[in-house]
Amino acid sequence: MASNEVLQAFVQAATQGSFSAAARKLGKSQSTVSAAVASLEIDLDVVLFDRSSRKPTLTPAGHVLLQRAEQVLEASSRLELAASQLSQGLEPKLTIAMSDTYQSDRFEIALKAFEQRHPDLELECLIAECEDLIALVQSGRAQIAFIEKQDTYPPDLTGAPVEERTEIALFAAPTHPLAKLKNIPAQTLQQHRELRLASIINPTETRPSGRVWSAPSYLMLMEMAQLGFGWAPIPRWLVERFGGDHLVELKARSWPRSVAVDALWSRHHPPGPAGSWLLGKMLE
CATH of the domain at 141: 3.40.190.10
Same domain, 10 and 50: yes
Q: What is the pTM of this model?
A: 0.66
| pLDDT of amino acid 254 | 85
Same domain, 145 and 178: no
| pLDDT of amino acid 210 | 62
Domain that holds residue 188: 165-259
Distance of CA 50 to the CA centre of its chain: 31
Specify the pairing of strand 194-197 against strand 144-148: unpaired
CATH of the domain at 176: 3.40.190.290
Can you list the residues of the chain whose pLDDT is less than 50?
203-205
Residue-wise pLDDT for 15-29, tens only, equals 988 898 888 888 889
Q: How far is CA 77 from CA 83, 119, 139, 274, 276, in A?
A: 10, 28, 18, 17, 12
Same domain, 111 and 154: yes
| pLDDT of amino acid 81 | 65
| pLDDT of amino acid 201 | 53
